[in-house]
Amino acid sequence: MAVSRSLTTDLDRTSLRPYFFWDEDVSIGELQSVLAGPPSDERDRLLAKLLREARDLDVWRFVTPAEVAEALPRLRRRVGRRFEFWRWLIDGWRSDGLLSQ
């Protein structure tokens, strides 16, 4: 059996696995690399998992509000019950002029 990386809440420890990837052995550094890369199904999958499982304040360590706003419509099914929270947040920022339409 392969040994997986330890879980951590310290998101500066890029060689470890973030607490919100409790079921998948992906390091913080690997996640950062995929999310900083070009659009892909893997990027969407990991972004949806981030939005679904991470604390909202921790999401901003990996992506910007504009990136979330752009991707959210196509991630609806993957984000699940947290989708409404993210839509509410993005819509509020748009109506307050903090995020472009």
Q: Which pLDDT band holds residue 101 (cuts at 50, 70, 90)?
A: confident
Please give the Cα distance from 79 to 76 (Å, whole number): 5
User: How many helices and strands in the chain, by DSSP H and E?
Assistant: 5, 2
Comparing CA positions, the residue from 61, 67, 62, 14 lying closest to residue 39 is 67
Report the share of the chain in percent with pLDDT over 90. 93
| Residue 3 vs residue 94, higher pLDDT | 94
Comparing CA positions, the residue from 71, 65, 67, 62 lying closest to residue 90 is 65
Q: Which two tokens stand for residue 74?
A: 């196509």
Per-domain residue ranges for the chain? 7-95
How high is the pLDDT of residue 3? Answer: 64
Q: What is the pLDDT of residues 55-74, one digit of tens each?
A: 999 999 999 999 999 999 99
User: Is residue 93's pLDDT more than 80?
Assistant: yes
User: Is residue 2's pLDDT more than 80?
Assistant: no
